[in-house]
Chain A
Amino acid sequence: MAEVKRVERPLSPHLQIYRPQMTSVSSILTRITGNALIVGVILAVWWLLAAATSPAYFRVADAVATSWFGDLVFTGSLWAIWYHYLAGLRHLYFDAGKGLDIKTAEMLGWGCIIGSVVLTAITIILV
């Protein structure tokens, strides 16, 4: 019967000593943008709820939503949506087993970053 032996295996390099790469950074950014979007969603739904409650409450929520703080949250959320959008499409492409060679994957990462900034600017101009 085969003896089960513990083999001394090398540890994989930890994040702290790993050189940041486009593929890892763009993947981490997907997680950060996706989860951070809850802030913008809560502000938006609160604003909508205030509009449905009373004119006085709407004035309060609208003052917050259109203040420098609201502008910061919504502009940041807009970029986060577009980044998460493009990175999500990239994930669907990866899931199909395509674009996984290093050169293409790195190019797609740059595409997400540059594309998200461009789309954010276009949305702000359009809206």
Chain B
Amino acid sequence: MANAAVIGSNAPSSFNGGSSRASPRTPAPQSNFAPWKDPARVPIVRFENVTKRFGNFVAVKSCTLDIFEREFFSLLGPSGCGKTTLLRMLAGFERPTEGRIIVEGQDITDLPPYERPVNMMFQSYALFPHMTVERNIGFGLRQEGMAKEAIAKRVAEAMEMLELGKFAARKPHQLSGGQQQRVALARAIAKKPRIVLLDEPLGALDKRLRQQAQFELMRIQETTGTTFIIVTHDQEEAMTVSSRIAVMNHGELAQVATPGDIYEAPQSRYVAQFIGDVNTFEGKVAGVEAGFVEIEGAGFGSRLRAVAPEGLTRGQQVWLALRPEKLRIALERPSDSINAIQGKVIDVGYLGSISHYHVELASGQTVTALRANSARTVERAISWEDNVWLEWPAETGVVLTR
């Protein structure tokens, strides 16, 4: 999450200003990396109104998306949202029903997979069971008719990068899941493709191995300077590794933004709820004044105040989204509060570093608040059945219109 916050704090001009810092070998720190903000930049991958139908089922609905060189781009969504179909269309395993796919200025919509400048790492790894690790990794290079010595050198490079040297002569079934995953990655990068596609690459690993592998993916992506496009349903994984995330829902792009923006400035309730925990208050616009909106609703007593997005009209239905860690919880109503709601604690989850409080409002809605346990002892700990006040400044809530 720390990473996400850094990306989220981007100034729009930082990429243009930072060009001198970026050398071709070592990519600029991610906080300076925002090619999508530069209108002059040509994307390395462009989906143009791509639609994919399987019979009556629409897997991808008129999707337009630009992905830039050296991005670590995530396609995130629940299963069946079309993220894998989008990736498979880029790999060439599925043909778009409508629209075009452009890679490096070339229309590749009709190219077969074996002629595309992309390599994929498969969810099942798809390692050739009858070949050794070495031959698996060299498979792509052999297809190009490369000289034997050159292949051996490139394979050795890839194996070194992923610490696979001592497994060179093994067959895939003699490897652990984590080792197989690294072989699959080594095979996908061995041809030095411009774009590497990763279909749920860490889905089969347990949680600890997964976190290690995420950082390994990021390291490989940075050292090779390749564009990575990853499909995942794990929002934490997407937040950790990505330069940008495309959140998908029912074949449509719900939002494409940096992890920080996705988290702090979701554009819809769907995105807000999909990434992290969120409390939403439904209400109507009571008035807009000086950039702030007053929201009134049945679920809470007083009006709530928040930064107003463009184009709100009085009486319009809106949702106020609040992250649990942005809520302050107190036994007394703070005197200077702008937004405050009263409720009763129905559940406390103590996790050591933080505590979760589930607070039931008068309307019956349950709100979650997080509190960091920064002091070892508190005068009066908040506990079950306590009547508490939830309070937050006007800037922390996000007003959503859909």
| A and B: interacting chains | no
| B interface residue numbers (CB < 8 A to A) | none
